[in-house]
A and B are shown apart, each in its own frame.
Chain A
Amino acid sequence: MTKVSMTVNGKAVSGEVEGRTLLSSFLREGLGLTGTHVGCDTSQCGACVVHVDGKPVKSCTVFAADVAGASVKTIEGMANADGSLSVLQQAFQDHHGLQCGFCTPGMVMSSAALLAENPKPTEHEVRHHLEGNICRCTGYHNIVKAVMAASGQDVSAVAAE
């Protein structure tokens, strides 16, 4: 066991981990931050996406020990300081961009990373960016719509083509 320290959602944290402990396990079991979900064994589904030093990372693919000293942000850290939903979270609710909610944390974290780099993504750019995030409920329509709406684009006329 080794001790790791990092910043999670702005707070300094530390814990004892094995070398093989994944960041997703450290967050969920070590820190009780269960908003980060694990939906597959192969780094494909994207439910576990968090930000490490501002970059989106699949936390089931990273050892906790490897991100010692880093700044980690999870879905629990995405709301505004007063607890209200951020613009992106609010857009997901406004446009019904989630159903069962299981993929949602990863969708929000991935989308936030996109908007940080590309503040006005096209439909194609949103869809392409989310290729590592799987949703079985929504058919993606309202997720794409929510991300575009969060970037300030008018999505009222969205339909096929």
Chain B
Amino acid sequence: MPKDHGIGASLKRREDVRFLTGRGVYTDDMALHGQTYAVFVRSTVAHGRIKSVNTAKAAAMPGVLAVFTGEDFKDVGGNPAGWLINSRDGTPMREPKRPVLAHGKVRHVGDAYAAVVAETYAQAKDAAQQIADDSVIEELPAIVDMKAAVADASNRVHDEIPDNLCFDWGWIEDNRAAVDAAMQAAPHKVTLELVNNRLVPNAMEPRASIGEYNPGTGDYKLTTTSQNPHLTRLLVAAFVLGIPENKLTVVAPDVGGGFGSKIYHYGEEALVLAAAKKLARPVRWTAERSESFLTDAHGRDHVTKIELGCTKDGQILAIRTETLANVGAYLSNFSTATPTFLHGTLMAGPYKVPHVYVNVKTVFTNTAPVDAYRGAGRPEATYSLERIIDKMCRELNLDPFEVRRKNLLTPDQFPYTTPVGLVYDTGNYQATLDKAMAMADVSGFAKRAAESKARGKLRGMGLSTWIEACGIAPSHLVGILGSRVGLYDAATVRVNATGNISVMTGAHSHGQGHETVFAQIVAEKLGIPESSVEIVHGDTSKIPFGMGSYGSRSLAVCGTAMTKAVDKIIAKGKKIAAHMLEASEGDITFEDGKFQVAGTDKAKTFGEIAFSAYVPHNYPLETLEPGLEETAFYDPANFTYPAGAYICEVEVDEGTGKVDVVAFHCADDFGNVMNPLIVEGQVHGGVGQGIGQALLEFTTYDENGQLLTGSYMDYPMPRAEDVPFYNVDYSCQTPCTHNPLGVKGCGEAGAIGSPPAVVNAVIDALHRGGHTHVKHIDMPVSPSRVWSAING
């Protein structure tokens, strides 16, 4: 009988009721007394020198309250990069200032160089157009292609950076000679050049921000679409505007998806705060979808050459990669960590590979900033690795399932130190591979392929055995690697006087269901019903300083902090019980919501202890404080390492090149599972994204830096008809060894593991159809690309 409450129960989400009845409150849903509207004036050219911004006419237009240009913010701080990467020669990365509003130059289409605040949205919009008409921007040649950007030192995104290179990173540089030697000596060598296509995040809720200022107290408030309100507060207050943090509250209310794009602080947030102070009125801004396309931090965009050395029977001996990673026009907050420590450290995959070396050159271009998106660096690593292993199998005529099995780490090899700096704590990769093969009925493939053929379709099967490092992240480790922040999290558990509980978490839920699953964990540990537990998140005036939600960290990091805080509550409860029951603290046990003197029937319920804590008429105050509220910070000892095996089956129409995903099987190891219903949903969503990346999602800038795919009419978002039902399993569980819940994280798995399974399946189908000249097709594997490959 499955559990119906507590840890492991597929509890329905409590947050659903408000969303299903239209009672969710997202940033743009809030109406404030006296509110005003900000509209940004954005560059229509990718690269240009700002000659003049004339705001006089706009300022005189009806309803216009204030006008801002880059000049107004030239003396405040820039939006900083959160991670310092050093180049191979030891020099630090180049860090150009990222201003609130562009000053001197505009560097991508959509780069804001002025803003208007007016009484109505329409008035602000009209005045913004007037400023655009009255400004002179001298267009410069756009730098779009990464190879050209590095090759041409004369054309610069940032005038002070001659080769447009942010850094040239080697991981691990000291291993390079050994890797080169192993590659040289390998009996067989495979080479593959591939593109990991740029994606536009497209959370369905566009970014939005409301700034407020109270001239009486000097307090600011920012309501914004953020995955991490404390981090946003730190950035906008301490680094950009110089507001003391205790004078700024940041609220991230209901947030309509983030996927990474709402981790970062953006200039619009600083603008609405500065404008609110100037006007002493609320200032609001909501992105139009086209602004989201142009200015949300994009994802991926790697061009990679990967080489693999192996024996003739498919034992991998060495892996070497060279990658150009696009960082766009400015350094977004995590942008330098994504192609390096979220990517290079994963390049050994779940395999025993003795020699691995990764080189990444990160390049500035006149495109939107690129940063961590839904998997962040790990999809790029997984795709390179799983594609070249498939290519190796084809070149050597080996079975892709058996080759993976031969190279996978075995359960007796943990903990395992990879040649790229990680220590995998536990796993059983054979188990997930076996499970996926059973789910996919691999032995029945020939029959299915024959059926497809009878319908005129080529059927193919593709495999990906993936791993990720998440539960981001151990501060001690990321500090060594260049992070300028710690990546712990925090939770406060407040037991109220009558025994109900408020839990304030540093994690933020924007689709993940924290309000339900966190309550399940607290309820289980305290032996009380879920309905007694409320999860509070997203408001810096209520929650402790935590780092928010991304990198599949909410449960592994913040959930652990919460668990530790609950343990402190239980410990304090025992002290109170000992006092009330006139027993020794060491004799008190806590089970099923009851504090009891061991071996007696003397007991107090959780509710009685809570009430006593707030009505402490006879407490020995020197040894027992009133109240029952505890905070814990948790900094993980290691990353967590979810892993799994994905098998995709596709049908390819040879006549049109169209690919249909007809089956997708996922066998994942997430460690212990707190709420299966939610975990399944997270995997579904990730796989949907992976199929989108593999088959549909083009982000195309033309040679002038114009985004050709800037709306839903041009950018193919996966729709319901583009994907199948997914077959998901999480029964292979090797619990994480270093957090008390034994959890690993599931939010990014699908997006990491699925793209290579899809592409491998397409190549397999083409080979089975006799098109053996097709070695690789870059994502998105669109009909035209498949047709051209077949007929090329």
Interface residues, chain A, CB within 8 Å of chain B? Answer: 28-29, 32-42, 44-45, 47, 74-76, 78-79, 85, 89, 92-94, 96, 98-105, 108, 123-124, 126-128, 130-131, 133-145, 158-161
Contact = CB atoms under 8 A, between A and B. Distances in A.
Contacts of A36: 22
A132 to B, nearest CB: 8
Given A108-B20, A134-B719, A161-B724, A102 B26 contact: yes
A143 B720 contact: yes
A40 B711 contact: yes
Interface stretch (B255-263, B468-476, B778-786): B255-263
B24 A101 contact: yes
A140 B289 contact: no
Interface in B701-759: 711-713, 717-721, 723-727, 750
A111 B202 CA distance: 22
Contacts of B726: 139, 141, 159-160
Given A34-B25, A79-B21, A136-B201, 4 more contacts: A37-B205, A76-B21, A139-B718, A141-B723
B546 to A, nearest CB: 20
Given A93-B17, A139-B726, A102 B256 contact: yes
A136 B680 CA distance: 15
B510 A100 contact: yes
A126 B720 contact: yes
Central interface residue in A32, A135, A136, by most chain B CB within 10 Å: A136
Interface string B28-42: 110100000000000
B137 interface: no
B16 A74 contact: no
Contacts of B201: 136
A19 to B, nearest CB: 12
Contacts of A29: 31
Which of B202, B257, B685, B720 has the most chain A CB atoms closer than 10 A to its own CB? B720
B513 interface: yes
Contacts of A100: 203-205, 254-257, 510-511
Nearest to A85: B20
B688 interface: yes
B204 A98 contact: no
Contacts of A159: 725-727
A35 B25 CA distance: 8
Interface stretch (B54-62, B482-490, B657-665): B657-665
A98 B202 contact: no
A34 B27 CA distance: 11
B19 interface: yes
A155 B696 CA distance: 28
Interface in B222-281: 254-257, 259
Interface in B506-527: 510-513
A115 B727 CA distance: 26
Contact of B20 (A38, A93, A142, A143): A93
Contacts of A44: 711-713
Contacts of A105: 19, 22
